[in-house]
Amino acid sequence: MTVKIRPLAAGNWKMNGVTASLAEIAAIAESAAGIGGADVLICPPATLIAQAVAAAAGRIAIGGQDCHAKASGAHTGDISAEQLRDAGAGFVLVGHSERRADHGESDAVVRAKAEAALRAGLVAVVCVGETNLQREAGQTLAVVGGQLSASLPHGATAQNLVVAYEPVWAIGTGLTPTPEDVAEVHGFIRRELVDLLPEAGAVVRILYGGSVKPSNAAELMAVENVNGALVGGASLTAKDFLGIASVYE
C-alpha cells in the first residue's frame, strides 16, 4: 500500500530580507489557501521571524535558518531553538550546506542542533548533500548516507523531522540534476530512513533543494520520493515561490 505523504513547499531566504520584504510573506500567505495540496513554510532571517509570523497570520509556517545546540548561555550572536520557538517559529533548518561549509559544521554539530530543535518543539529540517568533487568521484550516496546517519536526531518522528537533499553543486548555480539523478538519491534516502527509523522512515518528508524554479518544479516534484521543495532565491518573491508551490494546488 502506498502511503500518502503531505508535501512541504519551503523557502529559505538566507541572508536576505528587511522589513519591507514582509510584503512578500503576506502575499504568499494570502495565496496559501490555493495551495491545498501542500504545507507552506518560509524561513526568513532571524531579525524578521516575529514580524513574519504576524504577516503570515497563521496561513503558512515560519521557520528559522539555524539554531545553537544549547538553550541559553554565553554564545554571542547565536540564537537558540527555544528563542526561535518563542518568536513564533515552528521549524528550523539545520545542516544546510552553507552552514557546513562556511562554519565548518560537522555531522555531530548538526545532530546536536537537530536535537535542540526537537527539545524546543520545533520541526528539524536536516539538510544533506554532496559537493561537485564528491559527485564526480562517484561518492554521492556514500556522502549523503554518512551525513544522514550521523545527523539525524534521537527521537525523530515523521512529525518532527524533515530531510532535505540539496546537491551542493546545484545550489544557486542554475545547474539541476536530472529527474533520474534525483530519483536515485531520494530513493536511497528513503531506504536509509526506513533502516534508521523503522517506525517513521517510510513517511518522513524528503525535500529536494537546488535551483528549483517555476520552470522545473513540476517535473522535479513529480519524482518518486520527492515530497516537496526547499527553495532558495526563488522564494524571495511571492510570484516565483508561488509559481513553484502551485504544482500542489
Supply the DSSP string of 206-221, one letter for each residue.
Answer: EEEESS--TTTHHHHH
* Residue 229, CB-side half-sphere exposure with 13 Å CA sphere: 29
Is 166 catalytic? The answer is yes
Check 24, 82, 96, 105 and give the catalytic one.
96
Q: Indicate the residue type of 118.
A: L
d(CA 195, CA 138): 23
Tell me which residue of 48, 62, 60 sits closest to 19, measured CA to CA.
Answer: 48
Q: Indicate the residue type of 169.
A: W
Strands (E), 55-204: 61-64, 91-94, 123-128, 161-165
Partners of residue 161 on adjacent β-strands: 124
| Cβ contacts of 103 within 8 Å, gap of 6 or more | none
d(CA 182, CA 209): 10
Check 105, 166, 186, 192 and give the catalytic one.
166
Q: At what angle do helices 140-151 and 107-119 cross, to 10 degrees?
A: 40
Is 30 catalytic? The answer is no
Which amino acids are annotated catalytic? 96, 166
